[in-house]
Structure 1
Amino acid sequence: MTVQDPTTGRTRFVVVPASYVFLLRETGDGDPAGTEVLLQLRRNTGFMDGHWAAAAAGHVERGETAEAAARREALEEIAVTDLDLTFATAMQRTARGLPIDERIDFFFTARSWSGEPRIVEPVKCADLRWFPLSGLPEPVVPHEAVVLAGLRSGDLPGLTHHGF
């Protein structure tokens, strides 16, 4: 999507910001291979339906911080609050050929929260399940799979890119 800059008259692209929350838990043995992530199965959203994705994610609204958006989305989508958010990475990505093709995504993890995660929007979410980071389901939303791989290996950089 592009807009015309009223000051210069030049056309500029619009960057769409979004926040993602990966809830993580340990299976009990302390081994990094024992880390599980909560994923949702997308449906009826018009984007990557039939793919597994972060349990909570969505656009950052005007005047909202990325962290506030993450907390709001977690409440709206899986009914959890009081997330102990840890910043994981920012991803600059593009999806050539789509109407909106420049994005900045803020990924957070949370290892503690209040409430039992549940599906709040069944029209958009077909399933909600815990998976080992070492054994993710197929298919996972591609740009999210990049982040999950970095979380699994422990070498996720602070800035990532996808689609360039």
Structure 2
Amino acid sequence: MTDRFTVVPASYVYLVREGAAGPEVLLQLRRNTGYMDDHWAAAAAGHVERGETAYDAARREAAEELGIAGLDLAFELTMHRTAHDQPIDERVDFFFTARAWTGEPRIVEPEKCAELRWCPVDVLPSPMVPHEAFAIASLGQGTAYVSYGFDKHDSVEGAP
């Protein structure tokens, strides 16, 4: 029997609002996390903990990182991704959007977040975490599943 690899699950929450020029997404500038520091990423995201659903993880991360609750979560897509280096680099990410919530989003963990910014969905800041830019491009498209990092041509499947 071969050894099984570990897949690490994470949930991402993109808060979305209508801006003057169209939809905007709230992003954070990462710092001191050890992963993609000084890159823009989802304002709230993190690992799904044992015994927790992806939805519950999304709600928990939004509370922990942005100080908000009552999210009206919409499931957007699942991403299976790899970086090929180590078994822990196998990931399954669950992406959600929320257009309604309770509270004003704010930086709750200033040691990990340098800035929050509302950005037009079609004009993302640079640099972005690459797999997140790929996911944002699929928001609202009805895409069920995307893969990232498995070959030169990342794929989108399940779109209508």
**8 Å Cα contact 2:5/2:87 also seen in 1:** no
In the alignment, which of 63, 67, 74 is matched to residue 51 of structure 2?
A: 63
**Does 2:45 match 1:19?**
no
In the alignment, which of 79, 97, 122 is matched to residue 91 of structure 1?
A: 79
Q: In the alignment, what sits opposite 1:131?
A: 119
Percent identity (aligned) = 67
- Flag the structure with larger Rg: 1
Task: Extract structure 1 runs of 4+ deviating beyond 2 A.
Answer: none
Structure 2 regions of 5+ residues with no counterpart?
Answer: 151-160
**8 Å Cα contact 1:40/1:128 also seen in 2:** yes
Amino acid in the other structure paired with 2:7? V
Amino acid in the other structure paired with 1:147? A
Distance 1:75 1:118 in 2: 10
RMSD: 1.3
Please, what TM-score do these two structures have when normalized by structure 1? 0.88
Q: In the alignment, what sits opposite 2:25?
A: 37
Secondary structure of residue in 2 paired with 1:122 = coil
Secondary structure of residue in 2 paired with 1:75 = helix
Residue-pair matches, total? 150
Amino acid in the other structure paired with 2:120? P
**8 Å Cα contact 2:30/2:36 also seen in 1:** yes
**8 Å Cα contact 2:6/2:87 also seen in 1:** no
Distance 2:81 2:122 in 1: 25
**8 Å Cα contact 2:26/2:42 also seen in 1:** yes
Secondary structure of residue in 1 paired with 2:102 = coil
Secondary structure of residue in 2 paired with 1:11 = coil
**Does 2:86 match 1:102?**
no
**Alpha-carbon shift at residue 44 of structure 1 (Å):** 0.5
Amino acid in the other structure paired with 1:158? A
**8 Å Cα contact 1:147/1:156 also seen in 2:** no
**Alpha-carbon shift at residue 96 of structure 1 (Å):** 1.9
Distance 1:94 1:79 in 2: 31
CA displacement, residues 94-147 of structure 1 (integer Å, 9 cap, x when unaligned)? 012246111100000000000000000000000001001121100110000011
Distance 1:25 1:131 in 2: 10
Distance 2:44 2:33 in 1: 13
Distance 2:40 2:90 in 1: 22
